């Protein structure tokens, strides 16, 4: 299934049915009086979050969604039937915004959450409601109200505890394969990851966390270079960022420090709040460095990076040398992440309601195309 994380749709609630002017006409009952019933309400449009759905691909093809109109009122005090509601199933993590005003309509953060998108119109009143001591044969009735119509933009932000950052071929996909059951594509050319992947990391029997791997960033992503930076939205709900850096680039002219700083600058351009999230440096591919120079190369990188990035201590402060291919250092890193996740308070969007009939947050799993 193709991974789609954006869509624009139209939702149209149903119109309320019109009221009716009618009079009771039965044998042996003269002047039976008004008996016109009300119109039925129009159907409404709802959205519900479902953990079994992980893409918005359905809404790329089905863009217009209409609820049924209410029926007209009838004589003999009969009210019209209400229009049927429709419910749109969306992935957990979907943010729904008004496409015209950019105002947020809803944020689906837990399984089973149901929100109203467009309210159906009220039904009109029959002449039954207008009778009085001075108006015994009213002929007034009202028309049904129109339902709401909205043009909505859907944005999927995956739910994960930890997000991976880095240049293409920094080893993010290899790393998530090493620590979880996720199996993203790995190859010796850039941009092998074309959509986000989720992996569940099981540290021990009682501790686990979810990691999100997104396509690699390059310098100039904010201006559209590479795959752009729109995939950074999938890191908005994370509590920790792991910035993977290739400490042993194959090209002799490669500069790991400059590459790391370029990624941080792209993060700042995209969103200041995301830039301020806790961020750890993960120096990958240390297995490619000779043992006798490994410690010196890592120390030189850290000192130069901190000198050029004075605010590192605010958001980062921790450095982990690893080899995602051989697994060296991966266990120590996952234990440190689990300890951090366990001690860090959950963000407001991750706090579930206390109601017993609402399901807990979705458990992440690997997503593959």
Average pLDDT over every residue of 276-299: 88
Under 8 Å between Cβ of 4 and 110:
no
pLDDT at 185 over 80: no
Q: List, for residues 127-140, the tens digit of each pLDDT value.
A: 988 998 888 889 99
Select the more confidently predicted residue: 21 or 189.
21
Q: List, for residues 239-282, the tens digit of each pLDDT value.
A: 888 888 888 887 766 788 888 888 888 888 878 888 888 888 88
Under 8 Å between Cβ of 85 and 121:
no
Helix axes 256-270 and 291-308, enclosed angle (nearest 10): 40
Closest C-alpha to 364, from 196, 232, 252: 196
What's the pLDDT score for residue 227?
A: 52
pLDDT at 20 over 80: yes
Confidence of residue 355 (pLDDT cuts 50, 70, 90): very low
* % of the chain beyond a pLDDT of 90: 28
Select the more confidently predicted residue: 160 or 104.
104
pLDDT at 69 over 90: yes
Confidence of residue 97 (pLDDT cuts 50, 70, 90): very high
pLDDT at 347 over 60: no
pLDDT at 206 over 50: yes
The CA-CA-CA angle for residues 193, 197, 203, to 5°, reads 125
What's the pLDDT score for residue 224?
A: 53
Under 8 Å between Cβ of 164 and 199:
no
Confidence of residue 146 (pLDDT cuts 50, 70, 90): very high
Q: Which two tokens stand for residue 118?
A: 């467009």
CA 45 to each of CA 55, 56, 67, 149: distance values in angstroms, whole numbers, following the listed order = 20, 17, 6, 10
- Provide the mean pLDDT of the chain: 81
Instruction: Give CATH for domain 1-156.
Output: 2.70.210.12
Question: What DSSP assignment string belongs to 311-368?
Answer: THHHH---EEE-BTTTTBTHHHHHHHHHHHHHHSPPPGGGPPP--TTSPPPPPP----
The CA-CA-CA angle for residues 285, 289, 292, to 5°, reads 145
What's the pLDDT score for residue 41?
A: 94
Under 8 Å between Cβ of 43 and 83:
yes
What's the pLDDT score for residue 354?
A: 36
Instruction: Give CATH for domain 162-350.
Output: 3.40.50.300
What's the pLDDT score for residue 211?
A: 85
- d(CA 114, CA 355) in angstroms, rounded, equals 13
Select the more confidently predicted residue: 368 or 143.
143
What's the pLDDT score for residue 165?
A: 86
Domain definitions of the chain by residue range: 1-156, 162-350
pTM of the predicted protein model: 0.72
Under 8 Å between Cβ of 174 and 251:
no
Select the more confidently predicted residue: 185 or 332.
332
- d(CA 199, CA 180) in angstroms, rounded, equals 5
Average pLDDT over every residue of 20-38: 86
């Amino acid at each position: 299934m193709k991974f789609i994380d954006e869509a624009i749709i139209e939702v149209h609630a149903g119109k309320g049915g019109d009221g009716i002017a009618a009079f009771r006409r039965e044998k042996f009952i003269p002047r039976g009086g008004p008996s016109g019933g009300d119109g039925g309400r129009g159907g409404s449009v709802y959205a519900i979050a479902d953990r079994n759905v992980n893409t918005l691909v359905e809404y790329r093809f089905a863009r217009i969604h209409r609820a049924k109109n209410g029926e007209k009122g009838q004589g003999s005090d009969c009210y019209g039937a209400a229009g049927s509601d429709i419910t749109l199933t969306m992935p957990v993590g979907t943010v729904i915004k008004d496409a015209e005003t950019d105002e947020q309509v809803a944020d689906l953060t837990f399984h089973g959450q149901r929100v109203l998108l467009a309210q159906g119109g009220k039904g009109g009143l029959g002449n039954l409601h207008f009778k009085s001591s001075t108006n015994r044969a009213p002929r007034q009735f009202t028309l049904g109200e129109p339902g709401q119509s909205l043009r909505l933009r859907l944005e999927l932000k995956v739910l994960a505890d930890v997000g991976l950052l880095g240049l293409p071929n920094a080893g993010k996909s290899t790393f998530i394969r090493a620590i979880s059951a996720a199996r993203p594509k790995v190859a010796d050319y850039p941009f092998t990851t074309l959509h986000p992947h989720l992996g569940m990391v099981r540290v021990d029997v009682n501790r686990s966390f979810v990691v999100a791997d997104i396509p690699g960033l390059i310098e100039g992503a904010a201006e559209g270079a590479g795959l752009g930076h729109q995939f950074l939205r999938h890191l908005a709900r994370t509590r920790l960022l792991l910035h993977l850096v290739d400490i042993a680039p194959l090209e002799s002219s490669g500069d790991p420090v400059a590459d790391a700083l370029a990624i941080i600058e792209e993060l700042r351009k995209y969103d200041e709040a995301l830039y301020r999230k806790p961020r750890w440096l993960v120096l990958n591919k240390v297995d490619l460095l000779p043992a006798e120079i490994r410690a010196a190369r890592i120390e030189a990188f850290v000192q130069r990076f901190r000198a050029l990035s004075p605010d590192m201590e605010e958001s980062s402060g921790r450095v982990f040398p690893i080899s995602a291919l051989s697994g060296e250092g991966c266990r120590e890193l996952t234990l440190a992440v689990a300890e951090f996740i366990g001690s860090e308070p959950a963000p407001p969007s991750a706090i579930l309601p206390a109601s017993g009939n609402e399901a807990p947050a979705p458990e992440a799993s690997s997503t593959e195309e």
